[in-house]
Amino acid sequence: MIVFKNYFNIVKRHLGIIIMFSAISIGVSVINTSYTSTEDYVSVEPKIAVINYDESSLSNNFVDYITERAEIVEVEDNEKAIQDSLYLNKVDSILIIPDNFGANLLMGNEPNVKIKKSTQNVSEYTELLVNRYFKIAENYSKVGMTENEIINNIEKDIQNEIEVKVSSENQSDMEKLAVYYSFENYAFLSIFTFIIGTIMCIFNKETIRKRNNVSKLNPKSFSNQLFLGHMTLTLSIWAIFILISVILYKDLMFTINGLLLILNSLCFAITATSLAYLIGCLIKNENVISGIQNVISLGLSFISGCFVPIEWLDTNIINFSKIFPSYWFIQGNYDITKLSTFNYETIQPVIQNCGIILAFGIIYFSISKIIIAKKVKN
């Protein structure tokens, strides 16, 4: 096992940059997960800012009504603040109630509230809430009720809400867990390609390669020991990622969902190692490692739903991404976190998914073997 031993001597020399890269990736994963907004309520609360120029009792009561159904965000009343909050996704929509709105509504003048929105579907819900309130108010005024009567009656009406049953629980934290695990796609591809590429370049240096070729060590054993070294290193990094997820999401990780996530992630770590090994076999120059590392990790993360939600992607892109393990890994994570019943029928697709990920790994490893065999022959 001289190659294996020597492998870790080289790792020791590059330990600083390996730790730096891993720490950045882990830090970025944790921050990314913490700041992914997930829906915590049976009713999604849209983030709304209300700018009220009308100080009538009706419009104040409307603001209270919205406050109960939305997450109210304070936004300064100037164009820049409004624009920023919409662009930075701090609010889904901003409602601007004009002066004299309440009086005009009660007089039957059909005034309008202005809306500035960023996301179409969430704003649609806001519009439903606004229209409902004013429709009832206007009708009450038509039957001759005073402003106070209208407010009192609306308050009674809006207490009536239908009963909702949610069949799966803990969805919000589970979703965060899926985001954390899916970010491993970027982290693993980036770290593994860099580390394995760097180490392979050292072993592939012409002088060292020639020296190794004349040694009595069997080339097969040499490449196997090298791969074993890679596996040991990458699985140690994988274990750190798992450990952090266990610390952050203790309750969820000790469930069947958690175990399946670990399994899925292990399969991907093995496949990512094989891919990095294949790249390492092809690289001759140390300077190209960073380029390949970034193109592969960022590229696959963008088209497979790691950086942007898969729903944003075009169907053609999704179909294209299916030829890479990243898609199956990320899809697997989301499928696992959605599972609420566990039997052969529900778990089988997850296992099948893991099989697909590993199959990619075997393909990459086999291609590396062919390349190595050709190199030895030459």
Partner 1 sequence: MFKHLFMNKMKILLKNKAMLFWSLIFPFVLGTFFQLALGNVGEAFEMEVIPVAVVDNQYYQEDKILKEVISSLSKENENQLFNTVYVDESEAQKLLDNEEIDGYILLKEDNNPQMIVKTNGINQTIIKSVLDEYYQMSNATTQMINYNPEILYNGVLETLYEEKNYITDDSNENIDFSINYFFTLIAMTCLYGSLIGLEVIKDCEANLSKKGARMCMAPVNKFKMILAGLLAGYVIQLVALALLFLYLIFVFNINFGNQILPTVVLAMVGCLAGTSLGTFVGVSNRKSEGFKIGILISVTMTCCFFSGMMGVIDIKVFFDETFPLLAKINPVNIITDGLYSLFAYDNLDVYYNCLARISIFSLVLITLSFMFIRRKKYDSI
State residue 72 phi and psi, 5-degree precision.
-85, 130
Closest CB to partner 1 among 119 and 224?
A: 119
* 146 near partner 1, rule: CB under 8 A: no
d(CA 106, CA 351): 62
Footprint on residues 281-310 left by partner 1 (CB under 8 A): 285-288, 290-291, 294-295, 298-299, 301-303, 307-309
Question: Judged by CB under 8 A, which stretch of 148-156, 217-225, 236-244, 351-359 contacts partner 1?
Answer: 148-156
* 323 near partner 1, rule: CB under 8 A: no
Contact pattern for partner 1 over residues 41 through 60, marking x by CB under 8 A: xxxx----------------
CB atoms within 10 A of CB 73: 15
Tell me how many residues contact partner 1 (CB under 8 A): 99
Sheet containing 47-52: give its strands across.
Answer: 71-72, 47-52, 93-97
Report which DSSP code applies to 91: -
* 208 near partner 1, rule: CB under 8 A: no
Closest CB to partner 1 among 81 and 263?
A: 81
Q: Which of 218, 63, 57, 74 is nearest to 133 (CA)?
A: 63
Least Å distance, CB 289 to partner 1, is 8
* 164 near partner 1, rule: CB under 8 A: yes
Among residues 68, 165, 214, 247, which is the contact residue for partner 1, using CB under 8 A? 165
Footprint on residues 76-135 left by partner 1 (CB under 8 A): 79-80, 83-84, 86-90, 96, 110-122, 124-125, 127-132, 134-135
What is the helix (H) or strand (E) element at residue 21, kind and residue range? helix 15-34
Tokens matching residue 341:
């019943």
> Quick one: CA dihedral 132, 136, 138, 139, positive or negative?
positive
Question: Judged by CB under 8 A, which stretch of 136-144, 204-212, 249-257, 357-365 contacts partner 1?
Answer: 136-144
CB atoms within 10 A of CB 87: 9
Among residues 9, 35, 68, 251, which is the contact residue for partner 1, using CB under 8 A? 35
- Residues paired with 253 in a beta bridge: none
Angle at 10 (CA atoms; ends 9, 12), nearest 5 degrees: 65
Contact 355, 328 (CB under 8 A): no
Among residues 9, 68, 108, 160, which is the contact residue for partner 1, using CB under 8 A? 160
Closest CB to partner 1 among 35 and 344?
A: 35
Contact 115, 94 (CB under 8 A): yes
Closest CB to partner 1 among 152 and 224?
A: 152
Q: Is 347 helix (H, G, I), strand (E, B) or coil?
A: helix
* 209 near partner 1, rule: CB under 8 A: no
Residue positions counted in the chain: 378
Closest CB to partner 1 among 70 and 272?
A: 70
Footprint on residues 7-26 left by partner 1 (CB under 8 A): 17, 20-21, 24
